[in-house]
Amino acid sequence: MQTLSQISKTLSLTMALFFSGSTFASDNLNYPVPTNKNVILTFGLSSQASLSKRMNILVWNLHKGANDDFVKDYDSLANQKDLVLSQEMYLNPLMRMVFSSFPDYFYASATSFFYGRDHDRTGVATSSPVLPFSIDYVRTETLEPVINSPKITLITSYPIRFSTKKLTVVNIHGINFVDGYSYKKEMNRIYEALKKIPSPLIFAGDFNSWSDERFAILKEMGKKLRLNEAKFSPDYRMRFNKHPLDHFYYTNDIKIISAKVEDFYQGSDHKPLEVIVEYSPQLKLEKKQ
């Protein structure tokens, strides 16, 4: 079992090697961070007024679209999804082209920083045929080392058909190359932003939960927010030190119909999470009794 210190050293080395070998490497690694007013970028068109109570959801770290099979896999996976939660969105011409191939989807994106020679946006994006009712974000105060950039969590809400309730969707790319204290601090900041939001709520993405300490922090946060965690079958999620990095949490008034992570997709270093859920408000009442 690796110690936290060993894990941190491994990750720091991996990060250093990544940037030294990157086609975007520069002497000063100048990746600008957007101002508060410039974090959110929206584009695309909505084609539906509201989400149905049964929703087909994709959660996927896109690895900036760098893998050869990215275009093919995204086209297959995102097709007919009600919600797509993407991490490592990278709005270069390739990814813009891929996103634009779904013209009936509205994209809400949150930028962590501007990346590459052309300073294209990178961060997270949540897309849906439904226009979000609200868009917000939580940006980490702690910065990733070397590139001095924050991580971002996007919070959107959507109307649900035949309901006065709105579904809150929380799309996270968790802080990575920092110690456990900083990880807990940033997860607590997200908790403070979410704790008063009424259900139904989905909280999913790449949490970078790669150590025993981080996994325990995440588990405690889920408990405080009264969230359940989806179990996948099959389950080929990316793991580090035996811990999965990607998770799907949900409130008691949401029912998991199916949840799977297939192994055969090669479009990213992360395997995609495919989840079908149903909003069932009576479940929350039953669990209170």
pLDDT digits (tens, 9 = 90+) for 198-211: 999 999 999 999 99
Q: What percentage of the chain exceeds 90 in pLDDT?
A: 85
| Secondary structure E strands in the chain | 40-44, 54-61, 83-90, 106-115, 120-128, 134-139, 152-159, 166-173, 201-206, 228-229, 239-240, 243-244, 246-250, 254-260, 273-279
**Is 89 within a domain?**
yes
DSSP string over 176-239: -SS-HHHHHHHHHHHHHHHTTPPSPEEEEEE----SHHHHHHHHHHHHHTT-EE---SSB---E
Q: Is the pLDDT of residue 240 over 50?
A: yes
What pLDDT is stored for residue 95 in this prediction? 98
**Is 5 within a domain?**
no
pLDDT digits (tens, 9 = 90+) for 138-193: 999 999 998 899 999 999 999 999 999 999 999 999 999 999 999 999 999 999 99
**Is 67 within a domain?**
yes
Mean pLDDT calculated for residue range 39-43? 98
Domain count, the chain: 1
What pLDDT is stored for residue 283 in this prediction? 76
**Is 20 within a domain?**
no
Q: Are 89 and 109 in contact (CB under 8 A)?
A: yes
What pLDDT is stored for residue 285 in this prediction? 59
**Is 156 within a domain?**
yes
Domain that holds residue 202: 28-288
Q: What percentage of the chain exceeds 70 in pLDDT?
A: 88
Both tokens assigned to 184? 């807990």
**Is 11 within a domain?**
no
In this structure, what CATH number is given to the domain that contains residue 228? 3.60.10.10
pLDDT digits (tens, 9 = 90+) for 48-81: 999 999 999 999 999 999 999 999 999 999 999 9
pLDDT digits (tens, 9 = 90+) for 77-96: 999 999 999 999 999 999 99
**Is 14 within a domain?**
no
